[in-house]
Amino acid sequence: MNRLPLILIIFFTTPAFTQRSDVIVLKKRNKTIDRFYAGKDIDFTTTSGAYVTANIQGIKGDTLFLREFIVRTTPTQLGVYILDTVGVYNLQYHYNEIKVIGKSSKGFNVSGSAASLMGGGLLLMLASGVVYLVDKENFSPALLIASASLAGIGFLMAKTSGKGMEIGKKYHLVYLNLSDNKKP
C-alpha cells in the first residue's frame, strides 16, 4: 500500500537526459510559422539559385548539415517502374544562404492550371466580344460572365499558388543555439 509514494519519488528524482539540438525558426511578423531541427525535411532555394530538398542531419554553429537523396524512376525487365536512389549528397549551408523556403513543385501544378483558366477565360471573353460585334442576336451575356469569372478564378489561383516564403520583410529566420557547446 505504501509503494506509491516510493514509486513517485523514484520517478521524479531520476534525471532525464536528452540530446539538445540547435533549431532554426521561421517567423512571419514575430509569429512562429515552422521549426527546423535535426531529422526534419526541408526544401528551400539558396541565394545562388540552387533548389534543395533534403533531410536535416544536424544544425551546428548557424550551419545546416543536410543529406539530399537523388531518386529517379527506373524501368525493370518486367516493364514496370521502380524508384531508385541514384545518389546521396551531404550538403551544408549557412542559414543566411536561404532565400526562399517553399514546397516542391511535385504533384498537382496549381500555377499551370491557373494559367489555363486565365487563358481560356480571356479567349472566351474575346470570342464573346466578337460575337457581340458581328451578330448581336446570338450574343450570350451568361457566357461573357462565365468566361470573366473563369479568368478571375485563374488569376486568384495564380496569386495564391505554391510560391515559397521569401525571406525578407515578411518572413525571417531565427537561429536558436540550444546545444551545450557554447562558443567562447
* Residue found by looking up cell 531541427 in the block: 37
CA distance 163 to 104: 10
* Residue found by looking up cell 528524482 in the block: 13
Is pLDDT above 90 for 88? yes
What pLDDT score does 90 carry?
A: 94
Cα atoms found within 13 Å of the Cα of residue 158, Cβ hemisphere only: 14
How much of the chain is helix, strand and coil, in % rounded to 5? 35, 35, 30
Is pLDDT above 60 for 153? yes
- CA of 17: how far to CAs of 14, 20, 111, 122, in Å? 10, 9, 47, 63
Do 178 and 20 meet the contact criterion of CB atoms below 8 Å apart?
yes
Q: Where are the domains of the chain?
A: 19-103+164-176, 110-160
What pLDDT score does 18 carry?
A: 55
Percent of the chain with pLDDT over 70: 86
15-54 pLDDT per residue, tens: 655 556 788 899 988 899 889 988 899 988 888 988 888 9
Confidence of residue 166 (pLDDT cuts 50, 70, 90): confident
